Amino acid sequence: MGERINITRSSMPPYEEFIDAIKPLWDSHWMTNMGRYHNELEEKLKDYLKVDKISLLVNGHMSLEMIIQAFSFPEGSEIITSPFTFISTTHAIVRNGCKPVFCDVKASDGTIDEEKIEDLITEKTVAILPIHVYGNLCAIEKIEKIAKDYNLKVIYDAAHAFGESLNEVGIGNFGDASILSFHATKVFNSIEGGAVCFHDDWIYEKLYNLKNFGIRSETLVAEVGANAKMNEFCAIMGLCNLRHLTEAIKSRKEAFAYYCEAIDKIKGISSFRVLKPGEVNNYAYFPILVTDEASCNRDEIYDKLRADDIFARKYFYPITADQNCFRNKYKEVDLHVARDLSKHILTLPLYEGITRAEQDRVIKALS
């Protein structure tokens, strides 16, 4: 047995670089509240992500909660979403007093099945909330056509798709808004952090109010808000990590290619990172599909890896609709594709700096 291998390992800048970068905070004593580094990170991310408008928040989850809140949907509104995701997506809908209407996914890439959306639309439907799961991009054109036909909002959970683009268009440009996560485990991190990308100016003002108690001046509280600001330490970590992101992604890309080559030779196992033509990959995840032709099933592979101290993850099992807190609570929908997928999927360790020796240990357990 070798050293423990985790599903991921946070990218961090050189220690001295971060320490030098935070030094000015001891002069200014300005640690949060839309400070200089918060604003600088917003500007730099606009460039990197090729978007016009962005608002930084404390994390990805609050970005999702607050963009849903920003649209002021009536209590009990229905939002069509996919259950093949991290639990945060469904929580954000429910915590806004809306009802998730689960839509099945496509077996080909795990994203929402755009052909099944229209049947789920009722007079209470207000939005579609699809997920670019593992960075696999949704059927953006079709989803936006449905939204237009039925006058619905589209909010993408793009937490896995940081920095991706389709035909040169940054992923944050699609829909009415997209949320990103800069959590420590993500391809780009600010320790904790998140953002919403959008088009309309009013959304910037609205999110500003929601994340800062509605405070607009010393004497004016314009509306009811919470606290979900990104602090200066996190913004500085983001700025440092952004400087090294190209090399981090290069390292991931090489590891990704190494996995692909090895997996090609293993019967019944294939990469589940499905690229569309014109798509730029961020190499955030390496999900594999373990079919019935493989020599072991998904759970057996998971156990074999664990026996060698390798922590792969069953992302995303169970589907969110089947979690204790949501089971049997919402509209009954046929979700057999998502359920089946969730039993055959395994996400392998992938991070900046993973060694070929570490990957060889992972590969060994697959064959």
Ligand X SMILES: *Cc1c(COP(=O)(O)O)cnc(C)c1O
Name the site residues for ligand X (rule: CB under 6 A). Answer: 59-61, 85-86, 88-89, 131, 157, 159-160, 181, 183, 194
Return the number of the residue (159 or 166) whose C-beta is nearest ligand X: 159
Within 50-131, where are the H helices? 60-70, 87-94
| 220 CB-contact burial (10 Å; exposed 0-12 / middle 13-18 / buried 19+) | exposed
Q: How far is the CB of 334 from ligand X (least distance, A)?
A: 23
CA dihedral 274, 322, 130, 298 (to 10 degrees): -10
Q: Distance between CA atoms of 237 and 21, rounded to whole angstroms?
A: 9
Return the number of the residue (142 or 313) whose C-beta is nearest ligand X: 313
Task: Name the residue whose CB lies closest to ligand X.
Answer: 60
Return the number of the residue (87 or 262) whose C-beta is nearest ligand X: 87
Q: How far is the CB of 261 from ligand X (least distance, A)?
A: 27
Q: How far is the CB of 311 from ligand X (least distance, A)?
A: 17
Q: Is the four-CA dihedral 264, 339, 293, 4 of positive or negative sign?
A: positive
Best CA proximity match to 106, nearest among 114, 94, 98: 114
Q: How far is the CB of 340 from ligand X (least distance, A)?
A: 20
The 8-class DSSP code of residue 230 comes to P
CB atoms within 10 A of CB 309: 13
Crossing angle for the helix pair 356-366 and 245-264, to the nearest 10 degrees: 30
Return the number of the residue (89 or 251) whose C-beta is nearest ligand X: 89
Any residues with CB less than 8 A from the CB of 190 and at least 6 apart, and which?
A: 41, 182, 230, 234, 235, 237, 238, 241
Q: How far is the CB of 86 from ligand X (least distance, A)?
A: 4
Return the number of the residue (185 or 270) whose C-beta is nearest ligand X: 185
Q: Distance between CA atoms of 100 and 330, rounded to whole angstroms?
A: 7
Q: How far is the CB of 194 from ligand X (least distance, A)?
A: 5
Return the number of the residue (66 or 159) whose C-beta is nearest ligand X: 159
Return the number of the residue (159 or 354) whose C-beta is nearest ligand X: 159
**Is the distance from CB of 112 to CB of 138 less than 8 angstroms?**
yes
Q: How far is the CB of 130 from ligand X (least distance, A)?
A: 11
